[in-house]
Amino acid sequence: MRYAGKPLTVQPGEDLPLSDLRNVRFQHDGTPPRKVSSVQQYIRDTFQQQVIGYGGCVEWPPRSPDLNPMDFFLWGYIKQRVYVTPPPTLQELRNRITGACASVLPAMLYNVQREVQSRVQMCIVAEGHHFEHDR
């Protein structure tokens, strides 16, 4: 979810004040679990005209990794560090994931931000159409 353009994290069981809900947008990624009719109805009831993506008032292509830092940076970085060798135990897998997340430095995030800006520029030049880029 997004709040006034910034990511919003709500803990399980925590309610948002109604006054804040006006500024929240649900960015729907189009994954099958969120396409179930009961889930769709809940999203429409909760967010009304504030849905970005699948079935929302602001369309967004499903699984669009070209602009999503989680796809073009974080998951690959984490997997690269976690699976250098197969983790022998579930606890070791957890430890590696935690360590990989902790190893993300502010300078890396700055570079990711610059990369997002670069990719947005490429989208503008391509007028929103599909394009290939080397990175």
pLDDT in tens, 52-66: 776 677 766 665 656
Q: How far apart are CA 72 and CA 120, in angstroms?
A: 13
Give pLDDT, residue 92: 96
Give pLDDT, residue 3: 40
Whether 119 and 97 share a structural domain: yes
Give pLDDT, residue 87: 95
Give pLDDT, residue 22: 65
pTM: 0.50
Give pLDDT, residue 134: 60
Whether 122 and 70 share a structural domain: yes
Whether 4 and 36 share a structural domain: yes
Whether 5 and 55 share a structural domain: yes
Helical segments of 48-125, H only:
69, 75-82, 90-102, 106-125
Whether 47 and 101 share a structural domain: no
Whether 81 and 50 share a structural domain: no
**Which residues of the chain, if any, have pLDDT below 70?**
1-30, 34, 54-55, 59-67, 128, 130-135
Among 60, 78, 100, the domain-final residue is: 60
Whether 49 and 97 share a structural domain: no
Q: How far apart are CA 4 and CA 19, in angstroms?
A: 12
Whether 28 and 66 share a structural domain: no
Whether 29 and 46 share a structural domain: yes
Give pLDDT, residue 26: 66
Whether 128 and 70 share a structural domain: yes
Whether 53 and 24 share a structural domain: yes
Domain extent, residue 85, equals 62-134
Give pLDDT, residue 90: 95
**Sheet containing 6-7: which strands, arranged edge to edge?**
6-7, 2-3, 24-28, 51-53
